[in-house]
Amino acid sequence: MIGALFHSYLSVPIYNLLVFFIGIMPGGDTGLAVIAVTLIVKIIILPLSYSAVRTQRAMKVIEPELKAIKEKYKDDSGEQAKQQFALYKKYRINPFASFFTLLIQLPILLALYWVFRGESLPAIDVASLYSFVAIPTHISTQFLGVFTVIGKSIPLALLAGVTQYFQAVFAVPTPAKTGTGGMSEDFGRAMAMQARFVIPFIIALISYETSGAVALYFVTSNIVTLFQEFLVRRKPLIPDSARTVTAEEV
């Protein structure tokens, strides 16, 4: 049941979107088609992904206020939670944005993997094509005529890891040493180091073990996220000063 729904509502639409873009890309470049599909996905989830990027930055900005709340209400967990959510509302922060962004992209990434895992490219599975999607006259499984997107690609996998690294460096700066030490500071530094080195390694490994197409998805997605980070940093984080948000409103 779930497999049939996944096939009908994710794999087949992704496949048709890929075939459509292959048909209009120069030389029938499948790699360029994957990039186009990724951009379509990123545009669809743009409000949520932009909110996730903004939230990640905002959480660093409001960290002193959060620490003050935790210290003030350390003996009252209920009031502490209310005050924290009041602070999130004041700065228009959605703490669940990153989770929902990942939740939406995972099925799409899986669908892309299954499309390239089968034998529907470079041959065309006519039975899976919508009536309005034309069969491409030429299909190239080499991105820019060099990198394969059907099988494993070491260069594209490395590029996926590198772009993930730069995205992590830009999004999760290593906390500066305050000289006081402490568990929270050590934890923050450990998380930043994992984001910079462990996650890029995992992304590169997944990209290599799946296909060049999945690697291109990660590369394109990371570059778009970097651009979003740049836009968010250019806009100052201003709290909702038009009114005072209280815990009772949350």
Q: What is the pLDDT of residues 215-242, one digit of tens each?
A: 999 999 999 988 888 887 777 666 665 4
Give the domain ranges of the chain: 2-249
pLDDT for the residue 202: 92
From 61-65, 156-160, 190-194, the region with the lowest mean pLDDT: 190-194
CB 88 within 8 A of CB 46: no
CA distance 85 to 122: 51
Of the segments 52-56, 108-112, 128-132, 172-176, which one has the largest average pLDDT value? 128-132
CA distance 205 to 215: 10
CA distance 213 to 122: 13
**Which residues, 6 or more positions from 215, have their beta carbon under 8 angstroms from its beta carbon?**
153, 156, 157, 159, 160, 207, 208
Phi, then psi, of 240 in degrees rounded to 5: -70, 95
As beta bridge partners, residue 148 has: 142
Which among 123, 122, 115, 218 is positioned nearest to 162, based on CA atoms?
A: 218
Please, how many CA atoms are within 13 Å of residue 42, restricted to the half-sphere of its CB? 20
Q: pLDDT digits over 68-124, tens only?
A: 888 888 878 888 888 888 888 888 887 777 778 888 888 888 888 888 877 667 888
